[in-house]
Structure 1
Amino acid sequence: MNEIEIEFLTRNKIDFDICADLNGSKMTKYAKLWMENNNKKFAYNAFPCNKNSSHTIKNSKGQCVMCNSARISFQMREHEEGYIYIAGTLWGGKIKIGATTNYEKREKYLNENKGYGFHADWKILAAIKVDEMGLRERQIQIKLEKYREYGLHYYRGKELKKSNEAFRCNYEKAIDIFHELSREHKFHLKIFETNLSKYDFLNLVKDEQIL
């Protein structure tokens, strides 16, 4: 590990134990598989990226994190232990599937700055503790893909953002998937809202949505 790599990893608070030495090689399929099996999230001493010959640190997908440090937080979140949650808004008639390390703070955050999607009555209905929250979040969202509502707006500070984590379906359809995931992997499921009829929204596939 050279001085540039040590400085970058230290500055970004990346534990050396989750890094692998690629010995100047490219990120091959074999290298990616080895990293996954050995819980390595980043590789140093990798074949330099095309933009800068001193950039030799990559994530497990082979992307240069020195060119774009935002990839670091995404990589860490992908395999971090945390919670996948279902939130619902009665005003908006939709649910949200998201991931967080603290679902209590997330409920407060969803209702700040005019609210997520400009609805400020979001409630966390259920949460499931998982091993890899980025991965599990994506697995659940894929199963609800036909109900997804793209381009929901919200404010992060003063900046207007777009999100694709809202779904035009009812609570029952989402909680059934959570139960399935919980049984399959023996995850602990917490249910805060037991009245399914309270969030019994219409299940609208994309072509039927009025956006």
Structure 2
Amino acid sequence: MSDEHNAGASHHHADAGTHHHHDHDEIEKGAALRVRAIEELMIAKGLINPDTVDAIVEHYERDVGPRNGAAVVARAWTDPQYREWLLSNGTAAINDMGFSGFQGEHIRVLENNDKVHNVVVCTLCSCYPWPVLGLPPAWYKNPAYRSRVVREPRAVIAEFGYDVPDDVEVRVWDSTAEVRYLVIPKKPSGTEGASVKELAAMVTRDGMIGTARL
């Protein structure tokens, strides 16, 4: 079975086989438009440097925001009971670590392993689990990523630096206003003696989206 077929199936059956009506998040969309307008006005008036803005946003997208998700993943790697809870009720298990709020009302957790590699997209807008991953990166909102990862997931993931083996199934999950996804990456080999803190430091934002392998 081709990955393209799997991607389409996952798009329609991303939550226990139920097809979701994929609504735009009106609050998110409105806030984004206001922020963009303010940013462009301040740049036009010379009040801020666009390069500085980009650097700050990238810092929060890549480093600060995903630390919550990294803590969740590291705990799942080291605590089998928590891992099972996380996979069966992601929202409750994540809330137990103090991570909740807007864009995190319903989070489903997926696990990458030797047989399956999961990758997440939002095909219509940019639904994203803010409490555990912070701000969505610019490429996640890009129309090219949103359309291509469904059609050719292996090629897109390869562009991020990971060639998924032919014997590993690729599943594409489409986030919606009702459900968002967090990927537990496959635990790196040779880390058996690492502490939870050391493991968390190895977890990347792209690994928790599924576009990279740790």
Say which structure is richer in helix. Answer: 2
Q: Larger RCO: Structure 1 or Structure 2 (Cα < 8 Å, ≥ 6 residues apart)?
A: 2
* Coarse TM-score class (shorter-chain normalised): under 0.3
TM-score of the pair, normalised by structure 2 = 0.26
| Larger of the two Rg values belongs to structure | 1
TM-score of the pair, normalised by structure 1 = 0.26
